[in-house]
Every structure is written in structure tokens, then in C-alpha cells.
Amino acid sequence: MKKRILGKSGLEVSALGLGCMGMSFGYGQPADKQQMISLLRTAVERGVTFFDTAEVYGPFTNEELVGEALAPLREQVVIATKFGFDTSVDPRAMKGGGPILNSRPENIRAVAEASLKRLRTDVIDLFYQHRVDPNVPIEEVAGAVKDLIREGKVKHFGLSEAGIQTVRRAHAVQPVACVQNEYSLWFRRPEEGLLQTLEELGIGLVPYSPLGKGFLTGAMNEQTTFDSSDFRSSLPRFTPGAMKANQALVDLLGKIAAEKKATPAQIALAWLLAQKPWIVPIPGTTKLERLDENIGAVAIELTLDDLGTIDNAAAQIKVEGARYPDKLEQLTGR
């Protein structure tokens, strides 16, 4: 597995990380715990060193899973987790009124202490603000994490779905190692100023949902249905009409994949990896064969001609459907 460094932070991780949320939250019923422990440990054997979780995933159960699985391998891995939601509110309530944010410094400290215990570790390698809290100045948030770094409880500070000015303000108080945003061939908003800002400041990018929450793998179509416990059931982009319209993007990936003797998922990930050397996608999976497929993307070299072909073809495709309902979209880009 190749390695990458996230910006100028010095934080070195595998070129492809593993998003752990779906193992216990968000995509229907949680997977079998022992099978997920085995999968996480196999990922380390395959060279993956970067694992992403959050207190709100469950809440708490995903951190506990990651902690149990990786405790024997702790020196070999980088674990990222997140703060910023009020976890006293059932996350299922997010669907209606939207989640309740809480990035007050005292809550950041409380989350850090609790996450350290669940993750069975003495230090959090990367601590993200999950969503920007408009009620707490970002300077106070950065200052709270700076204190935790001074105390040796956190190594690096990250932001998720933050706006450009927020990134600049936070970085001025405590250097931001990386920003985690959705980024893929079907969601390219980071190209509208964020990538340029991160490059200027020396900050890495960690794209979540690099496979479009599964859609870009080609494993679903307009006939696909989702259980109410699968959060895709509430996403505009996963209505039958939107999926039918967006099939053109999957067809494009399939065409390139056939030429490269690869899969659509591998081309989607290889495209991301080719954008910048400080980009580290974190696709999630609960299946060993998908893990191996994703890891295979790191070895695929896309030439400038390949990238030009993909970009030119993708520019002709209008992606249909919002990525989130309004209540959740309003939490991004602040």
C-alpha cells in the first residue's frame, strides 16, 4: 500500500483509508460485530493504516467497534474521530428537525475523554469538528483542540464540511491537518475554491463517500430500494428518477473500467487519487471483496489523457438530485 501525507501536517497514512460508519450505523441494520472486527484487522494486514469513525455513529457503537478491533494493532494505525453533535438526542431524530450541534469547548473536552476510552487509546490521532457550529466561534473550537493537543490527548485537528473562511480562521489558531468533505465524480463542489485554499494552506483533503454512497460502484439502479433504517432512503439523489438520470455517470466509469481491466469503483477512486497527492479517500464497506477491490484502485494509473477523457465526458452529464435534504445540507459549507 502506498502512503500519503496529509498536507504539511506530517500525518502519514495509507493512500486509501477505511470509513467505518457503515459497519454499525446509517446503512440499515448493523453488520455482525465479530465479522467487522475481522474485516478491520484484515484491512491492516492489507496495508490500510487510516480509519475513520465518530462518536455520533451509533452513537458510540462504531467507536467501540473500532477501538476493540484495532487495540492490538494500535501502533500501526491512525484513528480519526469527530465531535460536534449533541449525542443526548437520538440521531434518528436528525431526519426530521435536523441534528443538534454542540461544539462548546467543555463539550469538545468531554467528547475527547469519552472517545479515548471507547477507542481504547491514550491519544486521538485526528480529531475533527464534525459540522461547524454557528453558535461557537471557530477560534474557540480551534483553541479547545489546541489545548487537547498540548496535553497530549490529540495529535492533529481536522474540520468536516467547513466553508473556506472557517478553514482559514481555524487554521490561524491551530493548524488544520485536513478537511473531510464529500468529493467524488458526482459531487465536485470542493473544486470551487476549497481545493485551491487547501493547497495554499498546506492542508490535506479526506473525501468521504468517494463512491457516491455506493452508487458509483454500479451495484444499484432505479429499481433499487432502501430500508427505512438506511439513510439513503431520505436522500433526494437516491430517488428512482435521480438514479435513472445519474446512471450515465456509472456508464462512463464502466467504459473507462473496461479499457483499464478494472471496476467502476476502482476508476472512481483512482480518479480521486489522481487529483492531488494530498487527497486520501475513505471508502466504507462491510465486505472483504469490496475492501480488496477498493485497495486495488491504488495501483491504477490514470494518464493525463485518461483524466481529460473522464472530465470531458463527465462535464456533459448533469447529476440529478440534491445530496442531502435541506436540513442536513444547511449544516455544510459554513
What architecture is domain 3-329? Alpha-Beta Barrel (3.20)
| Residue 91 pLDDT greater than 90, yes or no | no
pLDDT at 195: 98
Reference 43, options 11, 7, 79; nearest CA is 79
pLDDT at 320: 95
Task: Please state the rounded mean pLDDT for residues 156-161.
Answer: 98
| Residue 97 pLDDT greater than 70, yes or no | no
Mean residue pLDDT across the chain: 95
| Residue 38 pLDDT greater than 80, yes or no | yes
Q: 27 an active-site residue?
A: no
pLDDT digits (tens, 9 = 90+) for 233-256: 999 999 999 999 999 999 999 999
pLDDT at 92: 52
pLDDT at 57: 96
| Residue 232 pLDDT greater than 70, yes or no | yes
| Residue 172 pLDDT greater than 60, yes or no | yes
pLDDT at 89: 73
Torsion, Cα 91 95 96 98, to 10 degrees, reads: 70
pLDDT digits (tens, 9 = 90+) for 6-35: 999 999 999 999 999 999 999 999 999 999
- pTM, entire model: 0.97
pLDDT digits (tens, 9 = 90+) for 295-314: 999 999 999 999 999 999 99
pLDDT at 88: 83
State the catalytic residue, choosing from 27, 57, 128, 208.
57
**Long-range contacts, stretch 243-248, CB < 8 angstroms, 24+ apart:** 243/215, 245/318, 245/319, 245/320, 245/321, 246/186, 246/215, 246/317, 246/319, 246/320, 246/321, 247/221, 247/222, 248/317
| Residue 259 pLDDT greater than 90, yes or no | yes
| Residue 95 pLDDT greater than 70, yes or no | no
CA distance 14 to 230: 29
Reference 323, options 249, 258, 232, 257; nearest CA is 232
Task: Please state the rounded mean pLDDT for residues 261-282.
Answer: 98
DSSP state for residue 49 in the 8-state scheme: -
Q: Let me know: does 39 contact 67? Beta carbons within 8 Å.
A: no
pLDDT at 179: 98
| Residue 93 pLDDT greater than 70, yes or no | no
pLDDT at 181: 98
Task: Please state the rounded mean pLDDT for residues 89-106.
Answer: 74
